[in-house]
């Protein structure tokens, strides 16, 4: 008897982050309990360097990657990669589908955009910002 594949999204299943509105709830008012749980899960998933690396690898190239490609790109075992992908999937940050013997993952652009909007402000952080400094490529000295 065939059992459903846990890596495959359920038909009609939505990202857990769909409960959030298009506005910026952190600046407009308090998040409800369900929204807090959802957002906390997403940021907890993003707090791990391996999972951030996986998101980056999946987004690169054609926007999707199979587990085998991710194992080849990182110096980690397949079970470890699969665990991290499960955390990202349960947080609503990636989607997956099985094709033959491979599972392919894609970053959910709506979910990532929603998290960005939650943190967005209308103020320019300026060049002294910790993130601006960390994300600015070094200048060439040639």
Residue 2 inside a domain? The answer is no
CATH number of the structural domain spanning residue 68: 1.10.10.10
Residue 131 inside a domain? The answer is no
Residue 14 inside a domain? The answer is no
Tokens linked to 110: 């709506």
- Percent of the chain exceeding pLDDT 70 equals 63
What total number of domains does the chain contain? 1
Residue 5 inside a domain? The answer is no
Residue 15 inside a domain? The answer is no
Q: Which of 110, 112, 104, 30 is nearest to 68 (CA)?
A: 104
At a CB cut-off of 8 Å and minimum separation 6, what does 51 contact? 45, 84, 87, 88
Read off the pLDDT of residues 50-71 as tens digits, 9 standing for 90 and up: 999 999 999 987 889 999 999 9
Alpha carbons within 13 angstroms on the beta-carbon side of residue 14 total 7
Residue 11 inside a domain? The answer is no
Provide the domain limits for residue 87: 32-119
Alpha carbons within 13 angstroms on the beta-carbon side of residue 103 total 18
């Amino acid at each position: 008897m065939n059992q459903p594949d846990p890596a495959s999204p359920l038909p009609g299943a939505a990202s857990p982050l769909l409960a959030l509105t298009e506005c910026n709830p952190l600046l407009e008012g308090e998040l409800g309990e369900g929204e807090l749980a959802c957002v906390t899960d997403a940021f907890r998933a993003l707090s791990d360097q391996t999972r951030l690396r996986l998101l980056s690898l999946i987004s690169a190239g054609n926007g999707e990657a199979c587990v085998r490609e991710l194992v080849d790109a990182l110096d980690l075992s397949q079970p470890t990669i699969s665990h991290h992908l499960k955390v990202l999937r349960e947080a609503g940050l990636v989607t997956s589908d099985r094709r033959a013997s491979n599972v392919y993952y894609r970053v959910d652009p709506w979910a990532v955009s929603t998290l960005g909007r939650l943190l967005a402000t209308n103020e320019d952080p300026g060049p002294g910002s910790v993130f601006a400094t960390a994300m600015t490529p070094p200048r060439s000295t040639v």
